Amino acid sequence: MSLKFTGTYEELKQKLGSLTGTWDDSQTGKKVLRFDEGVMNWYESTGTIQFQGKGGGKARLEAEVPKLLYPEENTDSLIATAVASVNASATLTVTKATVESLEQRFLTTGINEGELVIGIVSAVGTESTRVIGPLTDRLKGFGYTVEDIRVSSILPAPASASREYDRIKHYMCEGDKLRELSKNNAILAAGVAQQIAQKRGGAPTKKAYIVNSLKHPREVEFLRKVYGDGFYLIGIHADVKRRHRFLTEDKSCTQEQAHELIKIDEDESFDHGQKTRDTYHLADFFLNFGNNDDPIKNGLQRFLELIFSHPYKNPTFDEFAMFMAFNSSVRSGDLSRQVGAVISRERQIIATGANDVPQSGGGLYWAEMDPETGKVIDRPDGKDYTREVDSNKETQASIINEIARTLLAEGVVTSEKELDLARLLKESKISDLTEFGRIVHAEMDALLSCSRAGIPTVGSTLYCTTFPCHNCAKHIIASGISRVVYVEPYPKSRALEFHSEAIELKSELNTATADNGLVKFEPFVGVGPRRFLDLFSMSLGSGSKLRRKNNDGSTVDWDKVIAPIRTPLIPKSYLEIEAAAGGIWNENSNATPPFE
Ligand SMILES: [Zn+2]
């Protein structure tokens, strides 16, 4: 029995007053009572009482202390009841074997027959066949058959497809049209789901469906709702120069046609248009083209091994740092988006940053817990929501109003054109201005953390969940940071043009360039933050636990043909699994469940 006393030290001394031992309260957090050669330790924070020492003293303490503390209770019978309840519950315990069989049937352990749905997101002009080919080959190595789901195949085919430009443009327009008519930006994903159902043709087997390619964030959200953690999105990065070259040289587009397709694909201004740029950063895994295909092949192999529960695949420092940057972003209370940053030197994280409002004394506002009430509150007028308006948008609107009013007053524009004028000004670059926001950007927050702590930033690396804006970029250059790694593109940033002499976009892997002293900006490669725990944590991901050694200490073997998927698609609903769990309980319990 574990004996506890939850009162104060004074009360304890009073209750044990009849014992003639000596008290020792010289130690922090622990009070000691010595009696002959016996010792009683009382730990203040937990209330736990332990007996040590030897001889009659210890035996006496063990016998007397429970009686003195709890005179009205029969402590002997307390021990007996505890043992009895353990025995009783043992008869009610569902045996391990049956629980495992439930998991094998429905849940997350031991499934190596599950299906996989893998989406691809890449901008137009990306040679995605260079990824899909090796991905298909490698999936076969895991014992899978592969079904290609081309999103374009669910759209009406073009009447004549003589030119590649016409063909690509045709499918872009058809996709837009369908999203607009259905008033549903995820409509193509619904078509994809139907295709998968048709290609399955029976009970689920070891089949992988590669969906090429997704163009709208709603499509990704939709497939994640249907397939849950069994859906994986691969983002393939290819810089605009490379895509332009591919479209003109390999697909016979003119310079203008290539330019037009790339622009449409990235972000059409209307809501139901293609939004590849907003879709890319939702990926679980990021790839980047190198001079040869090895980085793609090896990257895919590692990603698949992680999906198939390889126990010895650990994160790179870049993956770890980007995960930490993402974690940092989550503290942000910004009204439009959460951005995170991390600065590292010699593979050691020296600062984190997020985008939020600064507070006097340094740093950004945290939510604070009131120690009296336990309520977590934000400081009045602190975070932006407490002022009920985004100062940046408010100021943009007042600038637009002021220009419109002046032009009207001066007679430059007639009053019939007033509405057009307001609309045109709103669509101008005025709406891209960010300087009237109260928010400190994540990159700057991380840099300022270094300055507060007196840590030099020369030669360090900055990881940021979003491509830095031109305002942060100039400060990044000035701080001496030598490398910047980012996930999400940020089209409003003019950093590369404004600072072309100081920044180099290192968009292709393994391009061996001599160190020219420029700040290198690189797209992130590897497992993205949203799957970091699922794929690298041994026990905290949403999938099954990972085991690395056997009971005798030897490392476990891993065989890709029988390896289970860590977060498999479960072909049953929770209602069916719940019913099966109830069945197992009824079969194995011979007493009324205690919760009834
Ligand atoms: Zn910025």
When pLDDT is averaged across residues 265-288 and rounded to a whole number, the result is 88
| Residue 530 CA to ligand 1 centre (angstroms) | 23
Average pLDDT over residues 101-107: 56
Provide CB contacts within 8 A for 115, sequence distance 6+. Answer: 200, 204, 205, 206, 207, 208, 209, 230, 569
Q: What is the largest CA-CA distance in the chain?
A: 106
Residue 447 Cα, ligand 1 centroid: separation in angstroms?
12
Structure-derived torsion over alpha carbons of residues 581, 583, 587, 591, reported in degrees to the nearest 10: 80
pLDDT in the model for residue 94: 38
Is residue 564 scored above 90 in pLDDT?
no
Distance 570 CA to ligand 1 centre (A): 42
Distance 472 CA to ligand 1 centre (A): 4
Ligand 1 centroid to Cα of residue 158, in Å, is 43
Q: Is the pLDDT of residue 112 over 80?
A: no
Residue 208 β-bridge partners: 116, 146
pLDDT at residue 525 above 80? yes
Distance between CA atoms of 490 and 242, rounded to whole angstroms?
19
489-516 mean pLDDT: 79
User: How far, in Å, CA of 318 to CA of 381, rounded?
Assistant: 37
Q: Cα(478) to centroid of ligand 1, in Å?
A: 14
Ligand 1 centroid vs 183 CA: distance in angstroms?
A: 34
When mean pLDDT is compared across 10-24, 86-100, 455-469, the lowest value belongs to 86-100
Other beta carbons within 10 angstroms of residue 141's beta carbon come to 11
Percent of all residues in the chain with a pLDDT value above 70, rounded to a whole number? 91
More confident residue, 128 or 446: 446
Closest CA to 312 of 560, 523, 143: 560
Distance 490 CA to ligand 1 centre (A): 10
Distance (angstroms) between ligand 1 centre and the Cα of 432 equals: 12
- The alpha carbon of 104 and the centre of ligand 1 are apart by a number of angstroms equal to 49
CA of 493 to the centre of ligand 1 (A): 9
328 compared with 102, residue with greater pLDDT: 328
Report the Cα 480 to chain-centroid distance in Å: 29
Average pLDDT, the chain: 87
CA of 18 from ligand 1 middle (Å) equals 71
Mean pLDDT score, 51-59: 84
pLDDT for the residue numbered 203? 82
Tell me, in angstroms, the distance from the centre of ligand 1 to residue 455's CA: 21
Show Cβ contacts of residue 71 under 8 Å, excluding neighbours closer than 6 positions. Answer: none
Ligand 1 centroid from CA 180, angstroms = 34
Token reading at 471: 């305002």
The answer to whether residue 585 scores a pLDDT higher than 50 is yes
What's the 439 CA to ligand 1 centre distance in angstroms? Answer: 10
Expressed in angstroms and rounded, the spacing between residue 467 Cα and the centre of ligand 1 is 8
Q: Could you tell me which residue, 486 or 272, shows the higher pLDDT?
A: 486
Is residue 526 classed as helix, strand or coil in its secondary structure?
A: strand
Look at residues 132, 321, 288 and name the one whose alpha carbon lies nearest to residue 210: 132
Q: What is the pLDDT of residue 449?
A: 98
Task: Report pLDDT for 571.
Answer: 80
Q: Tell how far the Cα of 482 is from the centroid of ligand 1, in angstroms.
A: 17
Residue 83, pLDDT > 70, answer no
The answer on pLDDT for 1 being more than 60 is no
For 353-392, what is each residue's pLDDT tens digit? 999 999 999 999 999 999 999 999 999 999 999 998 888 8
- Tell me how far the alpha carbon of residue 122 lies from the centroid of ligand 1, in angstroms: 25
pLDDT for the residue numbered 586: 80
502 CA from centroid of ligand 1 (Å): 17
How far, in Å, from the CA of 443 to the mean position of ligand 1?
Answer: 6
Question: If you measure from the C-alpha of residue 496 to the centroid of ligand 1, how many angstroms do you get, rounded to a whole number?
Answer: 13
Average pLDDT over every residue of 529-552: 91
* pLDDT surpasses 90 at 310: yes
Average pLDDT (275-303) is: 91
pLDDT tens digits, one per residue of 418-438: 888 888 888 888 888 888 899
Task: Give the side-chain half-sphere CA count within 13 A for 404.
Answer: 19
* pLDDT exceeds cutoff 70 at 171: yes
Average pLDDT over residues 272-289: 91
More confident residue, 103 or 541: 541
Ligand 1 centroid – CA 287 distance (Å): 25
In the reported structure, the alpha carbon of residue 61 is separated from the centroid of ligand 1 by a whole-number distance in angstroms of 67
User: What does the pLDDT look like over 233-261, one tens digit per residue?
Assistant: 999 998 888 889 999 999 999 999 999 99
Question: For tokens 């019978």, what's the residue?
Answer: 77
Q: How far is the CA of 466 from the centre of ligand 1 (A)?
A: 9
Centroid of ligand 1 to alpha carbon of 470 (angstroms)? 7
**Side chain identity at 447, as an amino acid letter?**
L
Q: Please say whether the beta carbons of 494 and 470 come within 8 A.
A: yes
Q: Would you say residue 508 has pLDDT above 80?
A: no
Q: What contacts 171, CB < 8 A, 6 or more positions away?
A: 152, 155, 158
Those residues whose beta carbon sits under 5 angstroms from the ion ligand 1 are: 441, 469, 472
Whether pTM exceeds 0.85: no
Query: Is residue 498 predicted with pLDDT exceeding 60?
Result: yes
* Ligand 1 centroid to residue 434 C-alpha, Å: 9
Distance 282 CA to ligand 1 centre (A): 20
**pLDDT one-digit tens code per residue, 113-157:** 789 999 999 999 999 899 999 999 999 999 999 999 999 999 998
Does the pLDDT value for residue 217 go beyond 90? yes
